[in-house]
Amino acid sequence: MSKLLTVIRSGRHAALVVVGALCLFLAPTLVRAEITEQAKKDFNRGLELAKAGKADSAIAAYEAALAVSPDYLQAHINVGALYYEKKQLADAARHLQAAVALDSTSVEAGKSLALVQMQAKEYDAAVASFQRVLRLDPKDGGSWASLGQVYKKKGDNKSALDAYARAIALDPKDYRSHYNIGNIHQGAQQFDEAIASYRQAIAINPKYIEAYYNLAISSHQLDQAHCVPDYEAFLKVARGNSRWKDKVAEVDKIVKQIQESAGGGQ
């Protein structure tokens, strides 16, 4: 999953942000030692290199800053984000754990660590990290949604449904949480509930192909005689999309078979 690295500047401060993934902001933080001027120079160099897309050089600059100022919170967070981008999850976790140790009240550090732990399939640790974040900011709908994903991966569907519901309560337009709820119901063969959730996701995002497909599958399981319109709705949004080429061909065959069966094979 690709992420966009950008630089956000505010007054005299700047911080690296991973948009849509590790949301990083420079804010007043607790530090255990004064940050040296050399560390600040290395940090700012890292920002510019990251902005230019030179991730390896940016990492080296942040590591240089941390070599002289190990308590540099934002350097730990930013280099952790870059390691995450490079799929070097152990290095990302090491820096983000250091950031949390420096400031346990930092939502940005805690959330970033939780996302890394989730990617590393360290689900128990990710749950603990997201719970810590949500104690700090219980209105963070994104963290509730991510916590739902972790619970689902752990097989704890009850907790996942509760987390997704909290995410939706905070952001009624969170179509992905509606979709994920639908998937849980579909997996439990609760097709009426699955259909309702998929329809809610589609109402919010009419171009959400995955929701159309799973809606049609649930509709087919529930009532073969009346599922064709849902398959046709999927075909309408998915036809011409190369990623869905095989599924479109598969659904075309299913629709033809249902129609032939309904017509007595004529």
The reported pLDDT for the residue numbered 22 is 52
- Residue 141, both tokens: 């709908």
Q: Tell me: the pLDDT tens digits for 94-140? A: 999 999 999 999 999 999 999 999 999 999 999 999 999 999 999 99
- Same domain for 107 and 1, yes or no, is yes
pTM of the model: 0.82
Averaged over 224-238, what is the pLDDT? 95
Alpha-carbon distance of 208 to 158, in angstroms, equals 25
In this structure, is residue 201 part of a structural domain?
A: no
Q: Is residue 230 part of a domain?
A: no
Please indicate, yes or no, whether residues 32 and 99 belong to a single structural domain of this protein: yes
AA identity, residue 189: Q
Q: Does a structural domain hold residue 24?
A: yes
- The pLDDT tens digits of the residues spanning 23-48 come to 443 444 444 578 999 999 999 999 99
pLDDT given for residue 225 in this prediction: 85
CA–CA gap between residue 163 and residue 89 (Å, rounded): 25
Residues 43 and 112 in one domain: yes
**Position 216 in a domain:** no
Residues 91 and 16 in one domain: yes
- Please check whether residues 69 and 166 belong to one and the same domain: no
**pLDDT exceeding 90 applies to what percent of the chain?**
83
- Among residues 80, 99, 130, which one ends one of the domains? 130
Give me the pLDDT at residue 15, please: 42
Give mean pLDDT, residues 227-246: 97
3-state secondary structure of 86: coil
Domain containing residue 111: 1-130
- What is the predicted pLDDT for the residue at 263? 73
Count how many domains the chain has: 2
Query: Residue 181 pLDDT > 90, yes or no?
Result: yes
Q: How far apart are CA 49 and CA 246, in angstroms?
A: 41
List pLDDT tens digits, range 241-253. Answer: 999 999 999 999 9
User: Quick check: is 193 in a domain?
Assistant: no
Please give the average per-residue pLDDT across 226-241, as a whole number: 97
Of residues 215, 257, 218, the one with CA closest to residue 235: 215
